[in-house]
Amino acid sequence: MPDDRVLEADRGAEAPPPFWSRWSRIYWFLAALLAAETLALWLLSRWAT
């Protein structure tokens, strides 16, 4: 059973992988989509009110 100590060897399995991987492009796309949605909703608010 794991105990109350940090295990150096665990870090390979329990630490997260590098954030910027080959998935980066789809992450950027999602962030850009959020920015575009925010802008579109702001423009809609401005037009409608």
Partner 1 sequence: MTALDWVILTVTLAGIVSYGAWRSRGVRDVNTYVLGDGTLRWPTIGLSIMATQASAITFISTPAQGYADGMRFVQFYFGLPLAMIVISAVFVPVYYRLRVRTAYEYLEHRFDVRLRFVGGFLFLLGRGLAAGITIYAPSIILSQILGWPLQPMILAIGLIVIVYTVVGGTQAVSITQKQQMIVMMAGLGVAAVVVILRLPDEVSLGDAVKLAGALDRMETITFDVDLEDRYNVWSGLIGAFFLSLSYFGTDQSQVSRYLSGRSLAESRLGLLFNGMFKIPMQFLILFIGVMVFVFYLFARPPVHFDAPTLAQARVARPAEVASIEARHDEAFAARRDAALAYVAARGTAGEEAARTALLAAARQAEQVQGEAKALIKAALPGATARDTDFIFLSFVLDHIPIGLVGLLLAVILCAAMSSVASELVALGATSSVDFYLRIRQALGRPAAAPKHGLRASQLLTVTWGGLAIVFASTASLFDNLIQAVNILGSIFYGTILGIFVVAFFLPRVTGTPVLVGAVLAQALVVFLFFRGGIGFLWFNLIGCAVVVIVSLLVQAFLPRPPALPDATARVIASRPGETRSAT
The distance of closest approach from Cβ of residue 19 to partner 1 in the complex, given in angstroms and rounded to an integer, is: 5
Distance between CA atoms of 15 and 42, rounded to whole angstroms?
39
The distance of closest approach from Cβ of residue 17 to partner 1 in the complex, given in angstroms and rounded to an integer, is: 5
The distance of closest approach from Cβ of residue 25 to partner 1 in the complex, given in angstroms and rounded to an integer, is: 11
Give contact residues for partner 1 (rule: CB under 8 A). 1-17, 19, 21, 23, 26-27, 30-31, 33-34, 37-38, 41-42, 44-45, 47-49
Summarize the chain as % helix, strand, coil (round to 5): 65, 0, 35
Distance between CA atoms of 33 and 14, rounded to whole angstroms?
31
